[in-house]
Structure 1
Amino acid sequence: MNEIFDILPYFLLMLVRLTSFFLLAPVFSMRGVPTQFKVGIAAFLAFVAVSTLPIGETILLDSSYFLLIIKELATGLALGFTAALVLYTVQIAGAFIDFQMGFSMANVLDPQTGAQVPIIGHFKYMMALLFLLTVNGHHLMLDGVMQSLRVFPVERLAISVEAGDIAQFMTSLFVEMFMIALQIALPIVGALFLVDIALGILAKTVPQLNIFAVGLPLKIFVGFIMLFLTMPVFFYILQILFEKLLVSMAQLISLLGGT
């Protein structure tokens, strides 16, 4: 009985980190995933972790335990946000494409998040999620958050990294993801830009032509053709993105753990 009371504080702290990770992590944070499932799988993983990882000194349920809970909540949210930020790159790229195709005013309601999202961006994001599930990327994310319990133990209150280092890591990650989003959208955006130039020349040479009636359907047609042609490149970049997702989680864990 005493052993149960000794490991219970560890179990609760691990549960906090895992559940907070599921709040923001791709796939797990979707509204279609029942809350009972999220809590259940978090409790199961916490039980596995507390059964396999070495348990240190007994954690006292005093005021410092409340600080440990806050630390675990922040750690889980940071890991989940890092994973989500990498995947939202695809949606940002889709927003660039929507703007050029003329779909920027035609946002759709994402039933998973309840937010208004661009059409092409939502399409690419769903394709990325399906590809993530196909290559078992969700398993790798779970492995990453489980590794964080070993590298950055729940009983450690002090964080051996300055806040500026974490901010710099997040900023550099955001900049890198923004550049990758531009690379994903650049072929389609570039083709549509050439269409705009051609339409501009056509408007000057044939003033009688209603360029708006011709231009919008033409840009949509060219956009869908380019979207189809660049699909293999898109999946290749997705592989790079998923590798970056795992590397970013590992880097954040190393920063927090001071390794």
Structure 2
Amino acid sequence: MLELSDAQIGGWVSSFLLPLFRIAALLMAMPIVGTQLVPMRVRLYLALAICLVLAPTLPPMPQVDALSLPAFMLIAQEVLVGVMLGFTLQLFFHAFVIAGQILSMQMGLGFASMVDPTNGVSVPVIGQFFLMLVTLLFLAMNGHLVVFEVLAESFVTLPVGAGLLTEHYWEMATKLGWVIGAALILVLPAITALLVVNVAFGVMTRAAPQLNIFSIGFPLTLVLGFAIVWVGMADILTQYQVLASEALMLLREMARAG
């Protein structure tokens, strides 16, 4: 009869389950994979596959009792690290969603919303279009491979059981506010152009009071808004590269915060 000691069980737990919790937490929190479109079972299988590949190459793990309080503390720490990495990527994707929402409100298309299948909430169609666009660009430029590379490096730069520097993580969390600024930068040219259009409508109403600005202003704003979005697509790749580089650099800094 096969008998296993507590030390052997603890060694298996620390060498496999502890990295698994970090990997699984990242996959549950990151965009694309962590959405409702991907079943929970598929995410679990993917986490197990990644852990099986990475486990032989990882540095030595701390030896703890499988059912002790330190083991549960290490599990909570690994889940926190994975969620923080995934949340950073979520902010990058939602910068484009916020940009689409701001633009939709300015061009009078805020009422046209659709259900976002990834989050299960209603978002304006422009925001959903930007979300699908950034998802395709992220996959086409192998952004998911960079994320997995950062995840593998995090076990070296932020070892299991090394402890978290709360002050450093708080400093990194304050940098996550760039998402609002990034969204404004994305749509600032379009908002400026629409502001000029609205000012022109105001001048027309002042010069010709008998002109019904509501009957022509709303459809004209929509048409000009779509034209501005179409023209702005010529520069979307450059803006995406800048924001993606900043987001991935922030991701690497988060993985080195231990």
Normalising by structure 2, report the TM-score.
Answer: 0.92
Q: Assess if the C-alpha contact under 8 Å between 1:9 and 1:59 holds in 2.
A: yes
Indicate the residue corresponding to 1:138 in structure 2: 144
- After TM superposition, the score normalised by the length of structure 1 is 0.92
Residue 30 of structure 1 contacts residue 113 of structure 1 at CA under 8 Å; is this kept in 2?
Answer: yes
The equivalent of 1:210 in structure 2 is 212
Q: Residue 137 of structure 1: CA displacement?
A: 0.7
What secondary structure, in the 3-state scheme, does the structure 2 residue paired with 1:108 have? strand
Separation in structure 2 between the aligned mates of residue 172 and residue 54 of structure 1, nearest angstrom = 30
The answer on whether the counterparts of 1:7 and 1:55 sit within 8 Å (CA) in structure 2 is no
Matched, 1:16 2:18: no
**Which amino acid counterpart does residue 110 of structure 1 have in structure 2?**
D
Task: Report percent identity of matched pairs.
Answer: 29
**2:54 aligns with one of 28, 46, 49:** 49
Alignment of 1:1-259 (within 5 A): 5=9, 6-61=11-66, 62-156=68-162, 158-159=163-164, 161-162=165-166, 164-174=167-177, 176-255=178-257, 257=258
> Shift in Å at residue 236 of structure 1?
0.9
Give 5+ residue unaligned stretches, structure 1.
Answer: none
Q: Is contact 1:10-1:154 (8 Å) kept?
A: no
Q: What is the Cα deviation at residue 34 of structure 1? A: 2.1
How far off is 1:56 after superposition?
4.0
3-state SS, counterpart of residue 230 of structure 1: helix
In 2, the alpha carbon distance for the partners of 1:182 and 1:14 equals: 38
Q: Following TM superposition, by how much is the alpha carbon of 1:35 offset from its aligned partner in structure 2, in angstroms?
A: 1.7
Per-residue Cα deviation, 1:196-216 (whole angstroms, up to 9, x for no partner): 000001111111221111111
The amino acid across from 2:89 in the alignment is A
Unaligned runs of 5+ in 2: none
Q: CA-atom RMSD, angstroms?
A: 1.7
Which deviates more, 50-59 or 15-24?
A: 50-59
Amino acid in the other structure paired with 1:173: L
The count of residues paired between Structure 1 and Structure 2 equals 252
Cα 1:87/1:43, change in 2 over 3 Å: same
Give the direction of change, closer, same or farther, for the CA distance of 1:165–1:8 in structure 2 (3 Å limit). closer
Q: Deviation of residue 4 (structure 1)?
A: 6.8
